[in-house]
Structure 1
């Protein structure tokens, strides 16, 4: 897996050990750190050691590796923190809530009385069949 680093990216610096962090897990390709602005007790973020601003830019071989890291870390968080669940969250673009433009995956432990709000209001759409057809056709291109 090829690695690139962006000199002015704070997450590149953290992921590659240039800036200290509360690291909970590290391997050749990823560093998992405690979030400095946690949504809940134990909130961590997975940082690839290669720079990609978002999911669209992350090379496929790195994409294949990030979910096993998320699974491993989420299981440890659940065991150690005795949380009732873990949200695995990844935002792409400012409108989606991304604030640091280096791909990262949030692991947010959930507790019965926490104040974390990750929600949307379900809507009823009448054009889902048309949308599905248009999206399917894009895969064929």
Structure 2
């Protein structure tokens, strides 16, 4: 059985990547809460946080922290929402962290997540470029 996120990490499926290294890959969610909603996955296939080997926890969360700052800076957001599901509500059985740009009165309430789409591929590509450039700055 193949894993959608493993295929993205391997470059076998397209995604608007914003970051990648030997530890993790980050790309835009195709059904974002807001433009700039990023998914960060470990390159190695693990299904849940409990499955992530202990030596990998620190390096992975260093990247969560770095990407969170880049999403906020790149999108001009006032803050962010960082979340992870384990099995329940986990649409792809591969560990992934949602990093969502947030602003006051943006309409996000509790755990009701009204998904949206990018206007078009250029809107998604431009958003990914903003986040990538924020990583470099």
Which TM-score band applies after superposition, normalised by the shorter structure? 0.7 to 0.9
Give the TM-score normalised by the residue count of structure 1. 0.73
Report what 1:18 is aligned to: 12
Work out which of the residue numbers 103, 110, 119 in structure 1 matches 2:102. 110
Paired residues, number: 112
| Runs of 4+ displaced beyond 2 Å | 115-120
Q: CA RMSD in A?
A: 1.6
Unpaired runs of 5+ residues, structure 2, are 113-137
Rg (Cα) greater in structure: 1
TM (normalized to structure 2)? 0.75
Given that 1:54 and 1:93 are in contact with CA atoms closer than 8 Å, whether structure 2 keeps it comes out as yes
Q: Trace 1:1-141 onto structure 2 (pairs within 5 A).
A: 8-94=2-88, 97-119=89-111
Which structure carries more relative contact order (alpha carbon 8 Å, separation 6+)? 2
Please give the alpha-carbon distance, in whole angstroms, between the structure 1 residues aligned to 2:74 and 2:108: 20
For the residues of structure 1 that align with 2:49 and 2:26, how far apart are their CA atoms? 17
Unaligned runs of 5+ in 1: 1-6, 121-141
